[in-house]
Amino acid sequence: MLSLNREQIQETVKRMTEYMWFEKGDYNLNIVGVRNSQTNNQVTNKFDDKLTLSYKEKGVWKFHSFDCTTDPGTHWVENCLSPDGVAILKPGQYRGSHEIRKHQGRYEALCQKKPLPVYRDDNRDQWYNLNENTVKTGIYGINIHRATKYAGKKSTQIDKWSAGCQVIASNDDWKLFMNICRKGRDEWGNSFTYTLLDSNQIVTSWL
């Protein structure tokens, strides 16, 4: 399992010349997903990635790291919703890409509001095909939401929880994440930037 800290995430994002790292004011959220490169693109069906939150509260940096998936689960890899294949979000920084609204009309989450680029993998095997020739950009419902709905519980298998969404495994982690996002919305408006990195991009000088 990946072990990360805020300094690593901050330094990595700041080294990306076109990326923004938000430091002004309280609850100016840096929402950064980290895809586990150690899996070598194998479909593990596990929550083996990280979703991180870095922000200031009363001028002091706060950091959270949640077990998540940034990849679709086995079910949707094998049973694609789209004839183009299952969606896998391409790493990058997407400014103002998400907003708080109801995921599938059921509960509040961070939902896609701007077009995003995804790889399309249509071979239905146990390896993610991250081929630049398959990239398509659009509104595909690449939301940031939870897995289990039960308080105190944590999902261990992705299965149907993700068809391309970024999904937090623990319900308690999810509640904390959304409480912070609501504070961010109250301070800065209902627009959130999402950054997705591969773990092999992470600066290791802070390890």
Rounded to whole angstroms, the Cα distance separating 202 from 112 reads 25
Question: Sorting pLDDT into bands at 50, 70 and 90, what band is 1?
Answer: low
**Other C-beta atoms lying within 10 Å of the C-beta of residue 25:** 11
Contacts of 143 (CB under 8 A, 6+ apart): 98, 103, 109, 110, 111, 112, 165, 166
pLDDT of residue 110: 98
Mean pLDDT for the stretch of residues 98-127: 96
- How many Cα atoms sit within 13 Å of 113 on the Cβ side? 16
| pLDDT at 145 > cutoff 70 | yes
pLDDT of residue 81: 81
Question: Sorting pLDDT into bands at 50, 70 and 90, what band is 203?
Answer: confident
pLDDT of residue 59: 97
**How do residues 45-81 score in pLDDT, each as one tens digit?**
999 999 999 999 999 999 999 999 999 999 999 998 8
User: What does pTM read for this prediction?
Assistant: 0.96
Question: 16 vs 204, which has greater pLDDT?
Answer: 16
In whole numbers, what is the pLDDT of the chain averaged over residues? Answer: 95
